[in-house]
Amino acid sequence: MKTDRSGSGMEDGPIRILVPVGSLGAGVREEELRYGLERGAQAIATDAGSTDSGAAYLALGKSKNDRGSVKRDLKLLMKAGAEAGIPVIVGTCGQAGGDLNLDWTRDIALEIAEELGLKPKIALLYSEQDKAVLKARNAAGRIRPLPPLGPLDDATIEACDHIVAAMGAEPYVAALKAGADLILGGRTTDTAVIGAFALMRGAHVGASWHAAKVAECGAQCTVNTGEGAGVLISVGADGFEVEPLSPSNRCSPHSVSAHMLYENSNPFRLTEPGGVLDVTEARYDPVDERTVRVTGSRWEPQPYTMKLEGAAAGRFQTIMLIGVQDPEILSRLDEFHDKMLHALYQRARRALGETAGDFHISLRLYGWNAVSGDRPAPDTPPPREVGVLFIATADTQELATQIANACNAYFFHFPLVRDKELPSYGFAFTPAEVPRGPVYEFKLNHVVEVDDPLELVRTVWIDLAEKGVAHAQG
């Protein structure tokens, strides 16, 4: 299987990239793939993960998506790419883009290749970082914090289970130029994955990055986001067009322009490795009832940096859950929260003493203020019911569960007013205590300066046409 790399510039017309879905495993649609290929797609590109679901997936090296869903989508893409002779590009493999996450996706791809009888040339782009290398760069002043964190120290680096550096487009461009049929990348910015092919083919730089930003979540940039899964972007010499892969869906100037706000605090500027996308002067014009053309996007080169993400397992938690419908309690929820929390701390300290260590208990009132933690205004009407989540955090799982056990009776029967008949709240399940395991957290919010966009990236090749020979670069 060899993909077509003919044409190095814009003389052949716009560069068409099929973005089949917002994230691999979310549900590629076969009919949309066919439509995009019929429209002349020259590459298939998709993201496969993010930090949205928390630090556990990097710390554990696992995907939140089930293997079957990822295999289904990747199988459709690999088959379509092979039949059309175009490359398939996947970034942030396995949810978090660490080495274990990437290897998990690699194994799925090799399984698919065997099942379909394909012989692709596969590029694996690893972006997990060696701690010793990062410590040296930090000592040389080449790592700096992003708000709200402060300077990085060796202890924080050492505490991380896995650390990745978010790649830009350059490793993908290099792999495409080297003839990759399938690229599986580690942690990468969503836009870099989508824009790499257009950049490799010499399309307008600002338009390539802007088109990638618009298309990063597939059909999220369309008017009817539930009507399809993907989009087709066509990047030219001075702008780009975007259209849904579903003929029954459409894009509008509003739906396309609004996507600059997705996961971005500034609707006009987006920072990427090596530069900033500026869409302040961008124009969004309808081409027809389904397609929008965008011009005026600019790319401002900047010193090259890669964002570092490091995750680790921390202390342990045990949880319990009740539901409350008592009208008196619902009318005095803040008071109820404070009194119960105080009583639970007292109970845990009396029951376990010094053996409990430096523990923590929190109560989250779902239906009241569990998401924000902010106290509602005094005139806020009481809810019909609330769910109260108890969370004990301690140095070990055993201690967290012991604290929950000690607090059990107080949590399920705590009265708002003493000397009244004890209430019983709605148990969600029994046994009441649920050991949740360790708390996973991100420990890094920093960028590392690099002289070469490839210097922190390791490329491994698997050429199945050459009996599965693998070799590494970098």
Instruction: Write out pLDDT tens, residues 396-447.
Output: 999 999 999 999 999 999 999 877 788 899 999 999 999 999 999 999 999 9
Residues belonging to the chain: 474
Higher per-residue confidence, 53 vs 470: 53
Judge whether 46 and 244 are in contact, CB under 8 Å.
no
87, 83, 80: which is closest to 28 by C-alpha?
80
The rounded mean pLDDT for the chain is 94
For 32-82, what is each residue's pLDDT tens digit? 999 999 999 999 999 999 898 899 999 999 999 999 999 999 999 999 999
Confidence of residue 11 (pLDDT cuts 50, 70, 90): low
Q: What residues contact residue 445 under an 8 Å CB cut-off, 6+ apart?
A: 145, 146, 147, 148, 149, 308
Judge whether 78 and 88 are in contact, CB under 8 Å.
yes
Confidence of residue 7 (pLDDT cuts 50, 70, 90): very low
Judge whether 22 and 47 are in contact, CB under 8 Å.
yes
Whether the model clears a pTM of 0.85, i.e. scores above it, the answer is yes
Q: What residues contact residue 427 under an 8 Å CB cut-off, 6+ apart?
A: 322, 412
For residue 88, list its beta bridge partners: 44, 182
Containing 95, the helix (H) or strand (E) segment is: strand 88-95
Average pLDDT over residues 154-167: 98
What is the percentage of the chain residues whose pLDDT exceeds 90? 91
Query: Looking at residue 470, what is its pLDDT?
Result: 61
| Chain centroid, CA 345 distance in Å | 36
**In one letter, which amino acid is 446?**
H
Least confident of 34-43, 158-167, 295-304, 418-427: 418-427
For 221-261, what is each residue's pLDDT tens digit? 999 999 999 999 999 999 999 999 999 999 999 999 999 99
Query: Looking at residue 264, what is its pLDDT?
Result: 86
Give the integer Cα–Cα distance in Å for 153 and 135. 8
Give the integer Cα–Cα distance in Å for 443 and 187. 16
